[in-house]
Amino acid sequence: MQATPDRKISEVIFTTLGYAQYSCAPKRGLDMASETSQIIERGVATLPDETWEQARQRTEIIGPLAALEVVGHRAADAAALALGISRRQVYVLIRRAREGSGLVTDLAPDRSGGGRGKGRLSEPVERIIRELLQKQFLTRQKRSLAAFHREVVHECKVQNLPVPARNTIALRIARIDAEKTIRSREGPDGARDLQGVGGVPPTITAPLEQVQIDHTVVDLIVVDERDRQPIGRPYLTIAIDVFTRCVSGMVVTLEAPSAVSVGLCLAHVVCDKRPWLEILRVEMDWPMSGKPRLLYLDNATEFKSEALRRGCEQHGIRLDYRPPGQPHYGVLLNGLSVRRCR
């Protein structure tokens, strides 16, 4: 910044420091003595505590999503629930994060138009919000923000207390740990959407270097040919090549998963698919075939049978298992099963 002898700003230099952001458009004739405070608009030291906390939590939740090429609706909905906003607002924040500089202030809320938000709620109102959060919001009923706000408004009116704004309620929800919110409302499976697998995934450089095998129940019922009476739902054992994301083998049975179905699926992975397709009179090309180097499996009994272990050792196929209780380590197969078998 440079000033003329009559204390008027003649030039403004935009600067970004590690601890604060300076952003000021040059104004002709700006008086330094009276308008210096306008130079620093907002940054680490100038954001109100509540606004900073909201920006920090947004960065914590939105940052990992912004690093992904595609963000699905399920992940966006989980983030929206954790932040107390809509799915559309989540995608807006993701765009802001991608266009920003990787700073917490990139996701800070827009400046308030006045004094709203500067006051503090009274302790009785805060107590009502805390109690209703536990009883009404953090439950498997999964009340919406609008429904929860109506509950708070009703309780405050009954006790002749000031009614908090909906945005204030959203901020209180956003302060809750995201994992706690999802776990309380969606259960442990839903909470995994906000958890990283951890560590660095192994580098897969070629087809058949790693193949995942798992089972799922197909969402249909097989009936007999004569009386059309239900027989049962079939089981699909499927193998997917991690490098190409191609299905490399499968087997469908009416029997529960076992070492036999795993062995049949592995044989289907290895064999040429053309004779099998000709028998089925299916005109298509399925070029995936060959012996995998490693099978990545869960901890089910059929995957730890002696027959499977010895058969794989015989042919130089290594076995590796997911950590117990961590189904998101098999995300490729889990996602494929959900999409294709419903």
Q: Tell me the per-residue pLDDT of 66-111, one tens digit each, with 9 for 90 and over.
A: 999 889 988 898 998 888 888 899 999 999 999 888 888 888 886 5
The reply to whether the predicted model has a pTM over 0.75 is no
Report the alpha-carbon distance of residue 170 to residue 152 in Å, rounded: 12
State the CATH number of the domain containing residue 240: 3.30.420.10
Q: Which of 98-107, 279-288, 303-312 has the highest mean pLDDT?
A: 279-288
Q: Which residue has the tokens 């138009």?
A: 113
Q: What is the pLDDT of residues 221-273, one digit of tens each?
A: 999 988 999 999 999 999 999 899 899 999 999 998 888 999 999 999 999 99
Nearest to 84 by CA among 155, 163, 149: 149
252 and 282 in a single domain? The answer is: yes
pLDDT of residue 24: 39
155 plus 252 within the same structural domain: no
Let me know whether 60 and 181 are in one domain.
no
The H or E element containing residue 318 is strand 318-321
Strand partners of residue 239: 213, 249
| Distance between CA atoms of residues 294 and 317, nearest Å | 5
Residue 157 phi, psi (nearest 5): -65, -35
Query: Is the same domain home to 188 and 219?
Result: no
| pLDDT of residue 115 exceeding 70 | no
pLDDT over 90, % of the chain: 33
For the chain, give the mean pLDDT: 78
Residue 282 has pLDDT above 80, yes or no: yes
pLDDT band at 118 (very low <50, low <70, confident <90, very high): very low
Q: Is 210 left (phi over 0), alpha (psi -120 to 50) or beta?
A: beta
Helix or strand (DSSP H, E) at 80:
helix 73-83
For residues 210 and 259, give the distance between their C-alpha atoms in angstroms, rounded to a whole number.
19
Same domain, 231 and 319: yes
Strand partners, 238: 214, 250
Is 99 in the same domain as 144?
no
Distance set, CA 289 to CA 218, 248, 261, 286 (Å) = 24, 7, 18, 8
Predicted confidence (pLDDT) at residue 119 exceeds the cutoff of 50: no
Domain annotation covers residue 43:
no
Q: Which residue type sits at 191?
A: A
Residues 97 and 150 in one domain: no
Classify residue 30: in a domain, yes or no. no
Same domain, 167 and 259: no
Residue 141: give its domain's CATH number. 1.10.10
152 shares its domain with 224: no
Between CA 185 and CA 191, with CA 187 as vertex, the angle to 5 degrees is: 95
Distance CA 162, CA 66 (A): 38
The C-alpha atoms of residue 254 and residue 221 are separated, in whole angstroms, by 10
Number of other CB atoms surrounding residue 248 within 10 Å: 27
* Residues in the chain, overall count: 342
Shared-domain flag, residues 158 and 182: yes
Residue 21 has pLDDT above 80, yes or no: no
**pLDDT of 321 strictly over 80:** yes
- Band (112; pLDDT cuts 50, 70, 90): very low
Query: Which residues constitute the domain of residue 301?
Result: 211-340
Highest mean pLDDT among 144-158, 175-189, 196-210, 312-326: 144-158
Tell which of 83, 107, 131 closes a domain: 107
Domain annotation covers residue 17? no
Judge if 215 and 304 occupy the same domain: yes
Per the CB < 8 A criterion, the answer to whether 138 and 185 are in contact is yes
Say whether both 248 and 293 belong to one domain. yes
Q: Is residue 11 part of a domain?
A: no
